[in-house]
Amino acid sequence: MKKINLAVVGATGMVGRTFIKVLEERNLPIENIYFFSSSRSAGSKITFNGKEYTVEELTETSFDRGIDIALFSAGGSTSEKFSPIAASKGCVVVDNSSQWRMDPAVPLVVPEVNPQDIAWHKGIIANPNCSTIQAVVALKPLHDKYKIKRIVYSTYQAVSGAGMKGYSDLENGLKGEAPKKFPHPIAGNCLPHIDVFLPNGYTKEEEKMVNETRKILGDQNLRVTATTVRVPVYNGHSESINVEFEKQFDLDELKEALKNAPGLIVEDDPQNNVYPMALSASGKDETFVGRIRRDESVESGVNLWVVADNIRKGAATNAVQIAQELIKMWNK
């Protein structure tokens, strides 16, 4: 098997650190690995597989050394500037920002859902938004079987999704300090506000869920709406999903389809207080689904509660899985 040269861009951030953990766990065939950040953290040390590395400042010449894959999580403007530079040097960028996700020339991939889209990349592959990734892992088997007509998302999103600064706002807020990242205190509060507001009254996070769901499931006719909420949870996004189908379904068969779906674990035994939770999903790579029940207010619909670690499956793990698929493709 060909060994690859890999770079992590944004290595000192919340997702960047998890990239490193997931890469160690998954044992990719890596020849050389490089870690990049802004000038602020350049020079700091990172340990990978027991060896110490120095973080380098990301510059226009960073990719002049035969890097095969670069995992980016350093914000949209860094991706906008540096992904095309990396791609022009023959590197495949797996980008965690929202910069390229809706570009028709860029595949938007969740390996359990649309791995076939990796094949048509032109140097950049986008990692979807964290809340969308876990949702489509649960929705894909149902869309295949019953054809989804409409989706209503209501999210309960952890502060880790807002990076180190979001995390600190909850920690410090619990000690009575004023918020620095969020516009209001997050400790003891729920903020129906993730990313910026758009002229139609939705937030950009809500718009991302709508557009990215359609692109990943390959169905522009899907009717999707979302309300995204930041809650005082450190890590792990929870989602209430109401799904309406074109076809009729049998609830036991539907549960069976979810049980057999890749990357998805059914936790659904309400009599024994078993259902997915942020605390139990945190640190795991799978997506968890429970509270599976018929929506009695519509002709054919189901309500789900879907939880995943937003930094792992919602970001780092999904990107590393894409890298693994690329390596598989190159070794065929």
Residues annotated as catalytic are 130, 237
Retrieve residue 206's tokens.
């809500």
Cβ-based nearer residue to ligand A2P, 118 or 316: 316
Q: Which residues bind ligand A2P (CB under 6 A)?
A: 10-14, 16, 36-38, 40-41, 58, 74-75, 78, 163-164
- The residue of the chain with the least Cβ separation from ligand A2P equals 13
Cβ-based nearer residue to ligand A2P, 215 or 237: 237
Cβ-based nearer residue to ligand A2P, 16 or 173: 16
Q: What are phi and psi of 55, to 5 degrees?
A: -75, 135
- Residue 164 CB, shortest distance to ligand A2P, in Å, is 4
Strand partners, 156: 229, 238
The 3-state DSSP class for residue 17 equals helix
Asked if residues 17 and 35 have their Cβ atoms less than 8 Å apart, the reply is no
Q: What angle do CA 287, 19, 72 make, to 5 degrees?
A: 105
Q: Which residues contact 191 (CB under 8 A, 6 or more apart)?
A: 182, 183, 184, 229, 230
Asked if residues 132 and 208 have their Cβ atoms less than 8 Å apart, the reply is yes
- Residue 228 CB, shortest distance to ligand A2P, in Å, is 18
- Residue 33 CB, shortest distance to ligand A2P, in Å, is 15
- Residue 298 CB, shortest distance to ligand A2P, in Å, is 39
- Residue 196 CB, shortest distance to ligand A2P, in Å, is 16
Retrieve residue 21's tokens.
């953990």
Cβ-based nearer residue to ligand A2P, 104 or 183: 183
Cβ-based nearer residue to ligand A2P, 13 or 141: 13
The 3-state DSSP class for residue 301 equals strand
Please name which of 244, 146, 161, 147 lies closest in space to residue 195, comparing C-alpha atoms: 161
